[in-house]
Amino acid sequence: MKKPQLVILISGSGTNLQAFIDQCASGELNAEIACVISNKADAFGLERAKSAGIQTATLSHKDFDSREAFDQALIELIDPYQPDLVVLAGFMRILSAGFVQHFLGKLINIHPSLLPKYAGLNTHQRAIDAGDSEAGATVHFVTEELDGGPAILQAAVPIHEGDTADILASRILEQEHKIYPLATKLILEGKLNEGQAFYEGSALPASGHAYP
């Protein structure tokens, strides 16, 4: 039987992508990465995909006149793979309403904050500046509201005195690499409606709910 198909979108280093590559290879995640697409030709994640023998594509937003035109071309690139999920893994683009609607329910993202806190950029520094005692990451479905779709899984880490944004980011990334493939597994296995998804003490409504 064909494994569930993933298309993963990246713009950069691709450490989350690597977690998916590793877990698909080990069988921990029963899925196949059909293609990795980057909007930046020099994204290191493309090298990670190639090393793993995964098909790659680059589609530069700079070649398009509008966000809508780029997103339409992206849809046309993704659709032939008929993915079960489109996974945003450090894809640094705001997506148009048309794109989000096209993949609604199949489009997921990871955001480096304990949403609904700190949607948008510079999440780590904002958490430090606010004097928060913890930070974290959230896997969520993508809707038209930026970083505002229903949460799937969340992991929290402590913020220590003297933490810089970089130190905090790497502490959070370690958790991202666990919860993102795990959330994907839960979705693909249809387990989101069986109560709550837990990870290391964090719990969130598991699907179809707005944030509490």
Instruction: Please identify every residue annotated as catalytic.
Output: 111
| Closest to 56 measured CA to CA, from 26, 101, 108, 14 | 14
Instruction: Please report, as residue ranges, which positions from 29 to 88 form the binding site for ligand GRF (by CB under 6 A).
Output: none
The one among 29, 36, 85, 89 contacting ligand GRF by CB under 6 A:
89
Contact in structure between 146 and 116 (CB atoms under 8 Å): no
Task: Provide the minimum distance between the beta carbon of 84 and ligand GRF in the complex, in angstroms, as a whole number.
Answer: 20
- Nearer to ligand GRF by Cβ, of 61 and 72: the residue is 61
- Nearer to ligand GRF by Cβ, of 69 and 74: the residue is 74
The one among 4, 7, 8, 16 contacting ligand GRF by CB under 6 A:
16
DSSP codes of every residue in 112-145: SS-TTS--SS-HHHHHHHTT-SEEEEEEEE--SS
Residue 176 engages ligand GRF in binding (rule: CB under 6 A): yes
List the beta strands (DSSP E) in the chain: 5-10, 32-38, 56-58, 85-88, 107-111, 134-141, 151-158, 196-199, 202-205
Residue 140 engages ligand GRF in binding (rule: CB under 6 A): no
The one among 74, 137, 156, 182 contacting ligand GRF by CB under 6 A:
137
The encoded tokens of residue 129 equal: 């500046």
Residue 205 engages ligand GRF in binding (rule: CB under 6 A): no
Candidates 6-14, 32-40, 99-107, 192-200; binding stretch for ligand GRF (CB under 6 A): 6-14
How many other C-beta atoms can be found within 10 angstroms of the C-beta atom of residue 62?
7
Question: How many residues make contact with ligand GRF (CB under 6 A)?
Answer: 14
- Nearer to ligand GRF by Cβ, of 32 and 174: the residue is 174
Residue 111 engages ligand GRF in binding (rule: CB under 6 A): yes
Sheet holding 134-141, edge to edge: 56-58, 32-38, 5-10, 85-88, 107-111, 134-141, 151-158
CA–CA separation, 201 and 98 (whole Å): 36
Candidates 14-22, 65-73, 114-122, 143-151; binding stretch for ligand GRF (CB under 6 A): 14-22
What is the binding site for ligand GRF (CB under 6 A)? Answer: 12-17, 89-90, 110-112, 137, 173, 176
